[in-house]
Amino acid sequence: MDRLKDKVVLITGAASGIGRASAELFAEEGASIVVADIDGPGAESVASGIRGRGGRAFAVAGDVSVGADASRMVEETVGRFGRIDVLFSNAGIPSVAGSIVELSEEEWDRTIDVNLKGTYLLSKAAVPHMMAQAGGVILVTGSEQGYVADPQTPAYNAAKSGLHGLMRSMALNLVRHNIRVNAVCPGITDTPLLQREVDTSPDPEATRRSYAAWAPIGRMAAPREIAQVAAFLASDAASFVVGAAWLVDGGYTAL
Ligand SMILES: NC(=O)c1ccc[n+]([C@@H]2O[C@H](COP(=O)([O-])OP(=O)(O)OC[C@H]3O[C@@H](n4cnc5c(N)ncnc54)[C@H](O)[C@@H]3O)[C@@H](O)[C@H]2O)c1
């Protein structure tokens, strides 16, 4: 399919998990991809895999929570490919499980900086280019945890709820510039992030079983199932989707 033919797409957190699956699927759909990640070698490996299959991609290493890095990701996209049609602000981190009393100030700051501030910094850098080219798409990776809460992840819940709010405000402000802003909101998805949580839990086998039973569908999502919805939201087929936090959660929030 050619849902993203000739689009230039910057994806953050694209060395792994949902971002990687999206980079690979978006390339199959005809897009030129900038694979941005704090893990430089991982980003390069995804980009060279795409090039090896005949696609157009290059890697940028950087931290989305640092203004200079976020700007550089956008500027290198425009410098190399001439424009930026889609910013997919996907990079995110979990927070260490615990109550608000156990949560350190450093952990709070890092969780908010990567999961929330990163999208502000990237959008601030990308929007002037999108305005100059009379349109674009900003897609963020929200979460079912922006809708519901977990008693053990206050910082992550705050970051993802805040991200949904930021997304809606930007959507309302930018729609008149033909810039559509939306969120794809995964439920439990079987990525390296999730696997690290399983591996570091007291009983990994039981944790994996409980994640598999989490949603009514009775299994975790594959990263590509989230990428498929992201590709739709990034494409012109979603031309009337504005300010939506689009759940892809196997029915969890319908419970
Ligand atoms: N896996 C899930 O169950 C799940 C559920 C809901 C939402 N999400 C969200 O999906 C997104 C992707 O998660 P994933 O499960 O694919 O995780 P992952 O750990 O597999 O991939 C995340 C990628 O982001 C990169 N990254 C982390 N911090 C960064 C930073 N400061 N700057 C640039 N890159 C950075 C990592 O190096 C990694 O390559 C995150 O926003 C996460 O919160 C995941």
Residue 1 above 80 pLDDT? no
Where residue 97 falls among pLDDT bands split at 50, 70, 90?
confident
Measured from the CA of 39, which atom of ligand 1 is nearest?
37
**How far is ligand 1, taken at its centre, from the CA of residue 252, in Å?**
20
Where residue 96 falls among pLDDT bands split at 50, 70, 90?
confident
Contact criterion met (CB below 8 Å) for 100 and 154: yes
From the number of C-beta atoms within 10 Å of its C-beta (0-12, 13-18, 19+), residue 30 rates as: middle
Q: Looking at residues 70-84, what average pLDDT do you find?
A: 98
Please give the CATH superfamily to which domain 8-186+223-247 belongs: NAD(P)-binding Rossmann-like Domain (3.40.50.720)
The whole-chain average pLDDT of the chain stands at 97
Query: Given this model, what pLDDT does residue 102 score?
Result: 95
Dihedral angle sign, alpha carbons of residues 217, 223, 228, 233: positive
Measured from the CA of 226, which atom of ligand 1 is nearest?
10
Residue whose CA is closest, atom 2 of ligand 1? Answer: 189
Q: Looking at residues 155-161, what average pLDDT do you find?
A: 98
Q: Write the DSSP assignment of 79-126 as a string of letters.
A: HHHS--SEEEE----------TTT--HHHHHHHHIIIIIHHHHHHHHH
Every domain of the chain and the residues it spans: 8-186+223-247, 190-220
Residue whose CA is closest, atom 22 of ligand 1? Answer: 13
156 is catalytic: yes
The pLDDT tens digits for 181-214 are 999 999 999 999 999 999 999 999 999 999 999 9
Among 11, 12, 16, 20, the mutation site with the greatest number of ligand 1 atoms within 8 A of its Cβ is 16
Measured from the CA of 223, which atom of ligand 1 is nearest?
16
Residue 61 above 90 pLDDT? yes
Ligand 1 pocket by Cβ (under 6 Å): 12-13, 15-19, 37-39, 42, 63-65, 90-93, 114, 141, 143, 186, 188-189, 191-194
